[in-house]
């Protein structure tokens, strides 16, 4: 029997989704286009022929999906609002779409009627296309933050009487790097990707990073200044990042490479956002003036944007190996090699159903503890999950027997418990990714991360074993007597 380290009696758990991955209904009720609508319809396809036009049709089936949440025993649910449903053209002087407001009101009310707490992400990658066309979107640091602040204001005003948990941005690293360095995600800009026709990998991701940091700061400062006292809610941000260990544990250069890689992954955003200080020194050293600076007024805004929690999206870990040659201008990871085996040939973890993800619960514990010690904020794990090996080729009857995913959850929750109990990290909640099999962005509809099998032809949902087991797993852990563990 696996170890069971108790979790606090107040520990929260549930499931997470994102609007473009599940909603569909992209042309209904006044919704405007997002950069992902455009990206998914490029020819030749850059998303394996997939798009979010229908997705899981959550727009019409949300009651059915919330029935699943109830069946699974979840009391928390994290979802994102599509900016272009609220303000179709996106800008601060553009009209609000009342039909979009009404849809999210229905969602929120439906959750509350079931006793499920909504956790709302304001931005999960789906920038209104109009803003990208108008001024380059996130490439314009000043314009984008003003438009995001207005969008956030509308959401606080319309939903904040019932929504008490806000997340400003989801994974700004992915937005910056995959959108503007590798070109693998919308809007697909890159100077190193042969499929991309526009972009500059050496400069654009760092500009976009600054725009996202300041957009977050404006939205959080606005909440603190005008809404917190009356609405009594909380606000945070969700940052992704792997944990890195040295390829050669005896080599000081590899130990430095592992730390540098995490600074490029997490410190890039977390240092300004949580510490109101400049980017990590290693980034300044490598990138020089390609990394936009912060003005005194920027730092004042960052200090005003005090957060309640650190949202952590974690899936896997890697080894980092130093490079002897200077970093090329297009490097964005800190001049290291990322490896899934160390110098002894030891794999970092057990393979999953997607090449980049290996199950590394022991390193998850180290990651949690490191982040808490660095930034000192309560942690909510806002995404964690995996696809099972071969799941993309399985029938529904095969896929629902997801013992790999169930073991992944159990082992990662044990890491949470140990980090909390032994390392004294303050970890307060966990959201499994994802409620449904859905559009996995540029990977299309092949890779399945859901605890619910989605038949993409009929849109029928079928619970997997992991979904039906999580309630029991959490009941065994939350508030358990440590002496009985």
Local mean pLDDT, 10-residue blocks, the chain (485 residues)? 88 98 98 98 98 98 98 98 98 98 98 98 99 98 98 99 99 98 98 98 98 99 98 98 98 98 98 98 97 98 98 98 98 98 98 98 98 98 98 98 98 98 98 98 98 98 98 91 48
Contact 111, 118 (CB under 8 A): yes
Per-residue model confidence (pLDDT) at position 479: 76
Determine which one of 130, 149, 171, 414 is catalytic.
171
In percent, how much of the chain has pLDDT > 90?
A: 98
Per-residue model confidence (pLDDT) at position 3: 85
Tell me the CATH number at 207.
3.20.20.80
Q: How many domains does the chain have?
A: 1
Domain that holds residue 174: 12-479
Give a yes or no: residue 154 inside a domain. yes
Per-residue model confidence (pLDDT) at position 381: 99
Per-residue model confidence (pLDDT) at position 482: 52
* Alpha-carbon distances of 152 from 59, 162, 216, 333, 426, rounded to whole Å: 21, 15, 10, 31, 28
Per-residue model confidence (pLDDT) at position 1: 53
Give a yes or no: residue 351 inside a domain. yes
Give a yes or no: residue 4 inside a domain. no
Phi-psi region of 55 (alpha: psi -120 to 50; beta: other; left: phi over 0): left
Tokens representing 338?
A: 């990322």
Contact 78, 15 (CB under 8 A): yes
Per-residue model confidence (pLDDT) at position 424: 97
Give a yes or no: residue 484 inside a domain. no
Determine which one of 23, 204, 383, 414 is catalytic.
383
Tell me whether residue 397 is one of the annotated catalytic residues.
no
Give a yes or no: residue 277 inside a domain. yes
Phi-psi region of 432 (alpha: psi -120 to 50; beta: other; left: phi over 0): beta
Give a yes or no: residue 1 inside a domain. no
pLDDT tens-place string over residues 53-112: 999 999 999 999 999 999 999 999 999 999 999 999 999 999 999 999 999 999 999 999
Give a yes or no: residue 299 inside a domain. yes
Tokens representing 304?
A: 């005003």
Model pTM score: 0.98
Residue among 28, 124, 73 at smallest CA distance from 467: 73
- What is the distance between the alpha carbons of residues 184 and 181, in angstroms, rounded to a whole number? 8
Tell me whether residue 143 is one of the annotated catalytic residues.
no
pLDDT tens-place string over residues 236-276: 999 999 999 999 999 999 999 999 999 999 999 999 999 99
Q: Which are the contacts of 120, defined by CB distance < 8 A and separation ≥ 6?
A: 78, 79, 80, 81, 155, 159, 163, 165, 166, 167
Give a yes or no: residue 225 inside a domain. yes
Per-residue model confidence (pLDDT) at position 481: 56
Tokens representing 12?
A: 């929260």
């Amino acid at each position: 029997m696996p170890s069971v380290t108790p979790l606090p009696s107040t520990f929260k758990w549930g499931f997470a989704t994102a609007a473009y991955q599940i909603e569909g209904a992209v042309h209904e009720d006044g919704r405007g286009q997002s950069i992902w609508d455009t990206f998914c319809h490029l020819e030749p396809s850059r998303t394996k022929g997939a798009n979010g036009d229908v997705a899981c049709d959550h727009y019409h089936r949300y009651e059915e999906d919330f029935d699943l949440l109830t069946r699974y025993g979840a009391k928390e649910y994290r979802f994102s609002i599509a900016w272009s449903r609220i303000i179709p053209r996106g800008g601060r002087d553009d009209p609000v779409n009342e039909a979009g407001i009404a849809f999210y009101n229905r969602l929120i009310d439906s959750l509350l009627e079931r006793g499920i707490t909504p956790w709302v992400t304001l931005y999960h990658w789906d920038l209104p296309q109009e803003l990208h066309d108008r001024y380059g979107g996130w490439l314009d640091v000043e314009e984008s933050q003003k438009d995001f602040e207005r969008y956030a204001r509308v959401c606080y005003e319309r939903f904040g009487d019932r929504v008490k948990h806000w997340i400003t941005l989801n994974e700004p690293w992915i937005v910056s790097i995959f959108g503007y360095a590798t070109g693998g995600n919308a809007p697909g800009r890159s100077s190193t990707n042969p499929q991309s026709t526009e972009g500059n990998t050496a400069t654009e991701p760092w500009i976009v990073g600054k725009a996202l940091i300041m957009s977050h700061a404006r939205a959080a400062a606005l909440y603190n200044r005008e809404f917190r006292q009356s609405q009594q809610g909380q606000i945070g941000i969700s940052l992704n990042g792997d944990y890195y260990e040295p390829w050669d544990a005896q080599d000081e250069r590899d130990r430095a490479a592992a730390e540098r890689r995490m600074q490029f992954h997490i410190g890039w955003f977390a240092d300004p956002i949580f510490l109101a200080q400049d980017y990590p020194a290693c980034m300044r050293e490598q990138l020089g003036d390609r990394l936009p600076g912060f003005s005194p007024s920027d730092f004042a805004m960052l200090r005003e944007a005090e957060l309640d929690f650190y949202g952590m999206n974690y899936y896997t870990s890697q080894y980092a190996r130093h490079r002897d040659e200077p970093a090329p201008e297009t490097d964005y990871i800190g001049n290291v090699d990322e490896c899934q085996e160390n110098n002894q040939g030891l794999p970092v973890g057990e393979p999953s159903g997607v090449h980049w993800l290996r199950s590394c619960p022991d390193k998850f514990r180290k990651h949690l503890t490191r982040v808490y010690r660095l930034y000192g904020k309560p942690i909510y794990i806002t995404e964690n999950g995996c696809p099972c090996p071969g799941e993309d080729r399985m029938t529904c009857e095969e896929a629902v027997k997801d013992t790999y995913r169930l073991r992944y959850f159990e082992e990662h929750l044990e890491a949470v418990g140990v980090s909390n109990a032994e390392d004294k990290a303050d970890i307060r909640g966990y959201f499994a990714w994802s409620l449904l099999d859905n559009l996995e962005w540029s990977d299309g509809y092949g890779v399945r991360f859901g605890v619910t099998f989605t038949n993409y032809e009929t849109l029928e949902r079928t619970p997997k074993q992991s979904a039906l087991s999580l309630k029991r797993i959490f009941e065994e852990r939350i508030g358990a007597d440590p002496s009985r563990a």
